[in-house]
Amino acid sequence: MAHRAPIAHAPLLDPTTLGDLLRVASAPDYTRWEDQVRRTGGCSDPVHLTGWTLHKDKTTGETLHHYTTAVEPGGRLRLACGNRRASRCPSCAWTYAGDTYHLIRAGLAGDDRRDVPTTVREHPRVFATLTAPSFGPVHNRPDHGTCRCGTQHAPDAPELGTALDPTTYDYAGAVLFNNHAGQLWQRFTTRLRRELAARASLTRRELAGRLRVSYGKVAEFQKRGALHFHAVIRLDGPDGPGTPPPTWATVGLLADAIHASAAHSYTSVSVPTAGDQSARSFRWGTQLDVRPVQAFGDGSDITEQAVASYVAKYSTKAAENTGTLDRRIGELAELDRHQVPDHTRRLITACRDLDRLYPDRRLWAWAHMLGFRGHFSSKSRHYSTTLGALRQARADYRAAQDHAALALDDREPDSVLVLRDWQYAGHGHTPGESALAATIARDLRLNRETARDALRDQSAAEGEW
C-alpha cells in the first residue's frame, strides 16, 4: 500500500486548501511527490524544471541511464529555492545557516577539509559589535530602572525600539545611516590596518609583509530599525591562516586598535546637502563591544561554537523583526494591508522621500530593508572557506550518491557522455501542497533536532569517560 501523509491540523485549514490537500494526498503519484519534497528539505517555494538527462558510453554508444521529468508528478522536477531568508523558506534558510556556521567556525577552530589549519586557534581573534549612533530616544528595557517613559516594559512589548517622540526622531538620518553602513565598514577596516601599523611602528606596506587582518561579519537590525555589525576579527601571518602572526600581535593590541579605529575621524561617511536635508557625517555609535573568543568554555559565552551559532542565526534574517516586509515595496498602500507598525512605516516613508534627493542611493528600492543594500553576511578573502565551496562539496557528495545508485561510479568520467536539456517551469506549491510540505519540513526538522541532541549527549558522555 502506498504511504499516505498524515493530514496535520486539518481543522485549521480553509475548505479550499483542505480540498486541494486531499487531492494531492490521494493522487497515485503522491509517494514520488513526497520524495521530491523531502529531497528539497521541505522547501516552501521549490523551483520547477522540465527536461531530461542522458548518459551514454562514448565508445559503444550504449545508453547507460536516461531520465525525463515526463514520469514525475505534474511532469516536473522540484528543486530547493535556496533562499537564505527564514521568513521566506525556513528549510533553505536552515541549510544556509548551517553553511554560515561551518564557514565562521572554520575560521575560529580550523578545518583541514577547508584548508584552514587548526593552529588558527592560537591566533588573536575577537568578537566585535559595532552599533549605530542615536537618532533619538526610544522605548527600551534598561538594566536598571525603567524606560524614559516611566514604564517597565515586558520583554516582548511591541513599543520597544519605537521612538518616544516620533515628531523629533531623525528617521531620515536612520535610513541614510543604514544605506551607508557598508561604506562605513570599509573605512573601519582600512583604518584598523593603519592603527595596527602605528602600534607596531610600521608603515602600511611593512605591515602587509608581516600581518594580515581577516574577518567574517553579519548584519543585524535592532528593534529601532538601525543596523549594526557583529564581526569575528582575526590576526594572521602575511600569507593568511596558515602562517602565525608576529608575537607582538596580541588580543589586547587588536582590541585597542579596534576601539581607536571606530572612534577615529577617518572612519566616517559624509552625505552632502540635498533639498531640505543638510549635510551629514555618519560614524559608529559609542556602544562598541569587543570580546576575546575563547577556544573552550571558560565560564563566558564567547566561545567558538557560540560565536559561530550567533552569526549563523542572524545570517538568515533581515529587517523583519522591525515589522517591515521581506520583499520590495511597490507602494505605501501595501503597508496598510500588512499592518506595518508606525515606527517602521515612518522609516519606509523616509526612504521614499529621500529617494528623489539621493537617486544614486536607491533608497526606495531598498525601503523594505530600511535603506540597507549591502550583504548581510560577508568575509575577507582569507578568513576561511567560502559558501560556494561548501555548496559545491554538498553537490559533489550528492552527485557521487547518484552515480553509485546508477552504477556509474566504476566508470572513467571521460568515458561517459552526458546530454541534458532543462527548462524553467515555475515555482511554488498549490495551497494543499504547501500544507503538506510544511508538515514534511516539520518532520525533517524534528529528526535533525533529535539526531543533534543524541550527538551532543554522546559527546558529553565521551568527555566524562
pLDDT tens digits, one per residue of 109-159: 998 887 889 999 999 999 999 999 999 999 999 888 899 998 999 988 999
Cell 575563547 locates to 294
- State whether 219 and 240 are in the same domain: yes
CA–CA gap between residue 376 and residue 382 (Å, rounded):
19
Contacts of 460 (CB under 8 A, 6+ apart): none
CA–CA gap between residue 299 and residue 284 (Å, rounded):
30
**pLDDT of 4 above 80:** no
**pLDDT of 101 above 70:** yes
Last residue of a domain, one of 385, 405, 435: 385
Residue-level pLDDT at 396:
86
Tens of pLDDT, residue by residue over 283-330, are 999 999 999 998 765 566 688 989 999 899 888 888 888 889 988 999
Last residue of a domain, one of 364, 385, 406: 385
- State whether 340 and 371 are in the same domain: yes
Q: Which has the minimum average pLDDT: 67-81, 209-223, 381-395, 422-436?
A: 381-395
- State whether 238 and 276 are in the same domain: yes
Q: What is the pTM of this model?
A: 0.86
- State whether 289 and 351 are in the same domain: yes
Tens of pLDDT, residue by residue over 189-234, are 999 999 999 999 999 999 999 999 999 999 999 999 999 999 999 9
Residue-level pLDDT at 20:
92
Residue-level pLDDT at 1:
42
Tens of pLDDT, residue by residue over 83-97, are 988 888 999 999 999
For the chain, what is the domain count? 2
Count of C-beta atoms within a 10 Å radius of residue 205:
8
Nearest Cα residue to 334 out of 354, 321, 348: 348
Residue-level pLDDT at 442:
92
Count of C-beta atoms within a 10 Å radius of residue 419:
10
**Is 407 domain-assigned?**
no
**pLDDT of 412 above 90:** no
Tens of pLDDT, residue by residue over 30-47, are 999 999 999 999 999 999
**Is 425 domain-assigned?**
yes
Query: Residue 10's pLDDT band (boundaries 50, 70, 90)?
Result: very low
**pLDDT of 7 above 60:** no
Quote the percentage of the chain above a pLDDT of 90: 70
**Is 408 domain-assigned?**
no
- State whether 448 and 373 are in the same domain: no
Measuring CA to CA, how many Å separate 93 from each of 11, 96, 187, 287, 436? 29, 5, 30, 30, 19
- State whether 347 and 420 are in the same domain: no
Residue-level pLDDT at 145:
85
CA dihedral 385, 389, 394, 397 (to 10 degrees): -110
- State whether 57 and 120 are in the same domain: no
Q: What is the rounded average pLDDT for all residues in the chain?
A: 90
**Is 148 domain-assigned?**
no
**Is 185 domain-assigned?**
yes
- State whether 72 and 178 are in the same domain: no
**Is 206 domain-assigned?**
yes
Residue-level pLDDT at 46:
96
**Is 150 domain-assigned?**
no
- State whether 74 and 94 are in the same domain: no
Contacts of 384 (CB under 8 A, 6+ apart): 103, 104, 106, 107, 111, 114, 116, 216, 241
Residue-level pLDDT at 463:
52
**Is 231 domain-assigned?**
yes
The C-alpha R_g of the chain, in whole angstroms, comes to: 26
Summarize the confidence of residues 363-383 as an average pLDDT. 92
- State whether 374 and 460 are in the same domain: no
Residue-level pLDDT at 236:
96
- State whether 423 and 381 are in the same domain: no
Residue-level pLDDT at 452:
77
Count of C-beta atoms within a 10 Å radius of residue 209:
10
Cell of 207: 605591515
Query: Residue 416's pLDDT band (boundaries 50, 70, 90)?
Result: confident
Who wins on pLDDT, 464 or 431?
431
- State whether 234 and 342 are in the same domain: yes
Structural domain of residue 63, as residue ranges?
10-80+415-464
Who wins on pLDDT, 437 or 374?
437
Query: Residue 375's pLDDT band (boundaries 50, 70, 90)?
Result: confident
Last residue of a domain, one of 365, 385, 405: 385
Query: Residue 407's pLDDT band (boundaries 50, 70, 90)?
Result: confident
Residue-level pLDDT at 253:
96
